[in-house]
Amino acid sequence: MESSLEGRIAVVTGASRGIGLAIAQRLVASGASVVISSRRAENLAKAQSTFDDPSKVLSVASHVGSRQDANSLIEKAIEHFGSLDILVNNAGTNPYFGPLVDIDDALMQKTYEVNQASIVTHTAAAWHQWMKGHGGVVLNIASIGGLGPEPGIGWYNVTKAAVIHLTKQLAWELSPGVRVNAIAPGLVRTDLARKLWEEREPEIASRIPLRRIGEPDDIASMALTLVSDASSWITGQTIVIDGGATNQPLGGVG
C-alpha cells in the first residue's frame, strides 16, 4: 500500500504550531493540499510561511470549540479545494493544573469543548458535508494521559480518555466508508507541554526507554501512515507513540 497522498485534501485543526503543524507539513510533503486552522490568524500566517508551496495550503482562523466555526471550516475547505479526504482533529488545550476537586467550571468547560466536543463537531461537519457520500479518514490526537491517572493534569487526561473512546465509537458508526483512528503521544516537545518538560528534560528522558522526549515529527510520521492507504484495514485503534514510556516493568519485577 502507498503512503502517497497525491491529490488528497486534508483539514488539520490546531495547526499553527507543534504537532498540528508538523502533521500538516508531512501531509503536504506527501502530496496533499491542506487547510490549517487555529484561533489566531497571525499565528496561522507564520505557520503558512513555513510551507514551500503556498498554493497547497489554506489558512482558516476558527474557534475549535464552536460548532458553527467547525461547520464553516469544513465548508471553506470544500469550497476552496473541491473535496475533503482527511480530517485531523489535533487541537487541544490544558488551562488548568491541579486536583480535579479544585477545578472551576469555566476551565473545565473550556477543556471539554476544545479537547473532547470538538472531535464530535468537526467529524460531524466533515461527515455531513462530504464524507458520508464520498468516504474519508479521520485521525484524532489523544494522549497517553488518557490511559491512566496522573498528578496535576487529571481533567486534561479525562478529556483525552474520552477521545480514545470517541475514536472507537465513531469508527463503528461511520464504517465502512470512513476510517477513524487516534494517536496517543507521550511527552512531546511542544509549547502546550512546555511546563511538563522544560525544567527537567534530562530527568524525564532518563526514565524513557528510548532516552528522549518526543518531537512533533515523531507523531507526524505515524499520522501520515494512518491517513494513507498504507493503513486501509485499520480503524477504531489508538496507537501509542511514547518512546516506550508506558512499556515499563511492573514494580518489583525484573
* CATH classification at residue 30: 3.40.50.720
186 lies in some domain: yes
- Does the structure show a pLDDT above 70 at 183? yes
- Does the structure show a pLDDT above 60 at 152? yes
pLDDT at 254: 38
- Does the structure show a pLDDT above 60 at 160? yes
198 lies in some domain: yes
- Does the structure show a pLDDT above 80 at 214? yes
pLDDT at 220: 97
Do you know the residue count of the chain? 254
185 contacts 144 by C-beta, under 8 angstroms: yes
Reduce the DSSP state of residue 91 to 3 states and report it: coil
How does the average pLDDT of the chain come out, rounded? 94
252 lies in some domain: no
4 lies in some domain: no
- Does the structure show a pLDDT above 90 at 248? no
State the catalytic residues.
Answer: 156
254 lies in some domain: no
- Does the structure show a pLDDT above 70 at 78? yes
Kindly report the backbone phi and psi dihedral angles of residue 165, in degrees, each rounded to the nearest multiple of 5, phi listed first: -70, -40
160: nearest Cα among 97, 64, 225, 93: 93
What is the rounded average pLDDT of the residues 202-224? 92
pLDDT at 156: 96
Terminus-to-terminus CA distance in the chain, angstroms? 40
What is the rounded average pLDDT of the residues 92-97? 94
pLDDT at 195: 67
The CA distance from 185 to 90, in Å, is 11
253 lies in some domain: no
33 lies in some domain: yes
78 contacts 84 by C-beta, under 8 angstroms: yes
Higher pLDDT, 181 or 187: 181
146 lies in some domain: yes
Q: Which domain holds residue 171?
A: 9-240
**207 CB-contact burial (10 Å; exposed 0-12 / middle 13-18 / buried 19+):** exposed
pLDDT at 252: 44
Tens of pLDDT, residue by residue over 217-244, are 999 999 999 999 999 999 999 999 999 9
pTM over 0.75: yes
- Does the structure show a pLDDT above 80 at 107? yes
- Does the structure show a pLDDT above 70 at 24? yes
Q: Where are the beta strands (DSSP E) in 47-90?
A: 57-61, 86-89
How many structural domains does the chain have? 1
Residue 193 pLDDT grade (very low, low, confident, very high; cuts 50, 70, 90)? low
